[in-house]
């Protein structure tokens, strides 16, 4: 293929084209899956339409139509000090790049975990080599190292009012990003670390969402304790679902519910023993 990168069509993650493995390591892992028709490698998706839409003042989503990969809705925090991209689309087009550029300079690209690497090196290169911050704990999953790669751990403050940290869980380096919000009420971007449920009132915590692997009670309580440091009224996970009010309390209630179920406190609701 006449490109230095290829892309797995199942997870959408970029990889060096020189010697791609027989099977995508990210898809072969128990948190993901290999496509029923087997492994393929394709040239990076530069054609799928990408729509930039405002989710709330100062927060935008990048929605890919009919693209490859998992279908994440990448988020853009837009402030007077510049922009932060949280999670990365598995497609990139000139029109989408220009739309993002129009919002302001990109100060940081932060994938929440390896499933969300997408085409991060191509987005970085198209946005003046914006730094790509990958959790040190998850760097071994990189199939291609962006030229502007910055491994990180602990706390990251890419611009004023925005803080990234790593509660782990879904992956050891899984990160969340807290933003003060244009109204000061607080927004948590949680990726797959905390998944908003379809009821838009509760959240879930899983090692694998497609394969339904749970996390332990202790890990879920650790994640909940980690994000309790932040004040946030709203939470977004890595697709389109969000909780619009009292999200911090919803996370704590959901964590306690999860812990109670996996410890067996509700076994009496499941039928005769």
Instruction: For residue 82, give every residue at least 6 positions away whose Cβ sits within 8 Å of its Cβ, in sequence order, or none.
Output: 104, 105, 106, 107, 159
Determine what percent of the chain falls in helix, strand and coil, rounding each to the nearest 5: 20, 25, 55
Positive/negative CA dihedral, 39, 40, 41, 42: negative
Phi, psi (deg, nearest 5) at residue 46? -115, 15
- CATH superfamily, region 5-262: Ribonuclease Z/Hydroxyacylglutathione hydrolase-like (3.60.15.10)
Angle subtended by helix axes 217-227 and 247-262, to nearest 10: 170
**Can you give the pLDDT at residue 3?**
66
Go through the chain and tell me how many residues it has.
273
User: Digits of tens for pLDDT over the chain (273 positions)?
Assistant: 336 999 999 999 999 999 899 999 999 999 999 999 999 999 999 999 999 999 999 999 999 999 999 999 999 999 999 999 999 999 999 999 999 999 999 999 999 999 999 999 999 999 999 999 999 999 999 999 999 999 999 999 999 999 999 999 999 999 999 999 999 999 999 999 999 999 999 999 999 999 999 999 999 999 999 999 999 999 999 999 999 999 999 999 999 999 999 999 999 999 987
The beta-strand segments (E) located in the chain are: 5-7, 14-16, 50-56, 59-64, 74-79, 82-86, 106-110, 132-135, 149-152, 155-156, 162-165, 176-179, 187-189, 195-196, 203-204, 206-208, 213-214, 234-236, 242-243
The Cα 29–Cα 95 span in angstroms is 34
- Residue by residue, DSSP assigns 122-169 as HHHHHTTS--EEEEGGGGGG-SS--TTEEEE-SEE-SSTTEEEE---S
In this structure, how many other beta carbons lie within 10 angstroms of the beta carbon of residue 96?
A: 22
Whether the predicted model's global pTM rises above the 0.75 cut: yes
Q: What angle do CA 243, 77, 94 make, to 5 degrees?
A: 120
- pLDDT in the model for residue 1: 33
The neighbouring-strand residues paired with 266 are none
Structure tokens that stand for 171 in this block? 């992956």
Q: Can you name the residues that pair with 243 across neighbouring β-strands?
A: 235
Distance CA 180, CA 182 (A): 7
């Amino acid at each position: 293929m006449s490109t230095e990168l290829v892309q797995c069509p199942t997870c959408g993650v970029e990889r060096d084209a020189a010697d791609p493995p027989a099977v995508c390591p990210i898809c072969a892992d128990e948190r993901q899956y290999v496509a029923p028709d087997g492994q393929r490698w394709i040239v990076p998706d530069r054609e799928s339409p990408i729509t930039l839409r405002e989710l709330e003042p100062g927060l935008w989503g990048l929605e890919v139509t009919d693209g490859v990969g998992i279908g994440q809705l990448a988020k853009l925090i837009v402030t007077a000090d510049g922009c932060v991209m949280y999670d990365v689309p598995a497609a990139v087009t000139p029109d989408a790049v220009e739309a993002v550029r129009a919002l302001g300079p990109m100060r940081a690209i932060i994938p929440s975990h390896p499933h969300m690497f997408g085409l991060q090196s191509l987005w970085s290169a198209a946005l003046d080599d914006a730094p790509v911050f990958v959790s040190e704990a998850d760097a071994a999953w990189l199939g291609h190292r962006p030229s502007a790669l910055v491994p990180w751990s602990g706390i990251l403050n890419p611009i004023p009012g925005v803080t990234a940290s790593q509660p782990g869980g879904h992956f050891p380096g899984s990160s969340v990003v807290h933003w003060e919000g244009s109204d000061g009420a607080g927004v948590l971007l949680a990726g797959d670390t905390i998944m908003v449920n379809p009821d838009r009132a509760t959240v879930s915590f899983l090692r694998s969402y497609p394969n339904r692997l749970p996390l332990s009670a202790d890990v879920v309580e650790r994640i909940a304790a980690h994000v309790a440091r932040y004040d946030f009224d709203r939470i977004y996970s890595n697709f389109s679902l969000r909780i619009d009010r009292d999200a911090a309390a919803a996370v704590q209630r959901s964590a306690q519910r999860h812990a109670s179920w996996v410890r067996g406190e509700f076994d009496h609701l499941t039928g005769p023993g």
